[in-house]
Amino acid sequence: MSERYLLVKSNSSPDLLRECLEFDPKDPAKCRVHVLPAAKIGEDRIKIDILLDSDDIKNNITVRQKHSHHQVIVTLLKDRGLGLVYDLEDGILKIINLERLKTLDNMHILNGKLREIDHKHLGKVFGIRDIILIDEENEKRIIGILSRKERVVENLHTLIKERNSETDLPQLAIFLLQSLQGLQALHNEKLIFGDFKLPNIEIVKEGEEKIAKLLDFDTIQEVDKCVIYQCFSCGYTPSSAQLDRTSFSNDVLSVGRGLIGLLAPEMLAIYSFADKMRLMFGDSEHDNLDEVYEELLSSRNKFIETYEYPEELVDIMIAANHPEQIQRPSLADIMDVIEKSIPKLPLRYPEF
């Protein structure tokens, strides 16, 4: 079996662990992560083998280093879409099978642009630390993305899904607004995110404060060089929206769907299955962009009078879901309305 070993250096404290990824190019579904104690390159190290196998995965893996009391915990965060996401002690690791992608262009963007964004907009998105790309003999294989470790405590999608009578709606709106600041940072660098959705908004703890940040950059594209718009966000970006490949309007539409998910989560669930089918089978003749928009228009009074949502927030949500991209508001306008509306939101969710 041919194997390839890559060492990923930590940009942070030298006493933190370093991860070495071992790939088998002939079997890209599998990879081994060797968690190594900090040492200079070439020195002997005791390694811990953790098999990450998409066919036989454990949600939580705890291993103990031989002859040491140091314990490493590896937690599976996500197992869907393009790859597997793991929570390591010193970072976030994502394994992607590049054979499922149409182009390597956005991977090179990840390697350069996101580092630049991380430096210029620190705190807006998850900090990208190292990116590993295997393109052996022009065969697209695997990319590993390691982000700086930040204490992920919650996910916005999960918080909304598991809402109860004590859920703080204004706080959830604040989290959404914070994630849009990260999205704006990408747009400022002429990058289309392409996969904005509530499940990609992680809540991290920085000191005593909780802050929302964007995660998952597989579908990112440069706005002027966007060749293929890929979207795997059922319920957030319908298939026909993928035809627009050269502007930020798809991200705005996804934000509009995110607002539905925040303010009327049951409504977003109605459209998820239909969008999934259209994404799978390419049914663009019966897309539901118009249907969603008309449903929002017909529900406007209910949102304002029954749910007691701020009128301007309801209107910007409807506008962001407009079938015609030219009619959608800018991301800056959406953020401005959300910020002004937060003090006017009801403290708790209404009865849907």
Closest CA to 77 of 22, 130, 23, 152: 152
**Strand order across the beta sheet in which 139-148 lies:** 60-64, 71-80, 83-88, 91-97, 139-148, 128-136
Question: pLDDT tens digits, the chain, 352 residues: what are they?
Answer: 233 323 333 333 333 333 444 444 444 444 454 443 333 333 333 233 333 333 333 333 333 333 333 334 444 555 555 555 655 555 555 655 555 544 445 555 555 566 666 666 656 666 555 555 544 444 444 455 555 555 667 889 989 988 988 899 999 999 999 999 989 988 888 888 888 889 888 888 777 888 898 877 666 777 766 544 444 454 555 545 554 556 788 889 889 999 999 999 888 765 554 454 444 334 444 457 888 899 899 999 999 999 999 999 999 999 999 988 889 999 999 999 999 999 999 999 998 7
pLDDT for res 207? 76
pLDDT for res 95? 57
Angle between helices 249-263 and 331-341 (to 10 degrees): 20
pLDDT for res 126? 64
pLDDT for res 155? 86
Rg (CA), the chain: 21
Domains and CATH numbers, the chain: 4-148 (3.30.200.20), 151-344 (1.10.510.10)
pLDDT for res 244? 54
Q: What is the 3-state secondary structure (H, E, C) of the chain?
A: CCCEEEEECCCCCCCCCEEEEEECCCCCCEEEEEEECCCCCCCCCCCEEEEEECCCCCCEEEEECCCCCCEEEEEEEEEECCEEEEEECCEEEEEEEHHHCCCCHHHHHHHHHHHHHHHHCECCECCEEEEEEEEECCEEEEEEEEEECCEEEEEHHHHHHCCCCCCCHHHHHHHHHHHHHHHHHHHHCCEECCCCCHHHEEEEEECCEEEEEECCCCCCEECCCCCCCCCCCCCCCCHHHHHCCCCCHHHHHHHHHHHHHHHCHHHHHHHHHHHHHHHHHCCCCCCCHHHHHHHHHHCHHHHHHHCCCCHHHHHHHHHHCCCCHHHCCCHHHHHHHHHHHHHHCCCCCCCC
The angle formed by the CA atoms of residues 206, 128 and 225, to the nearest 5 degrees, is 130
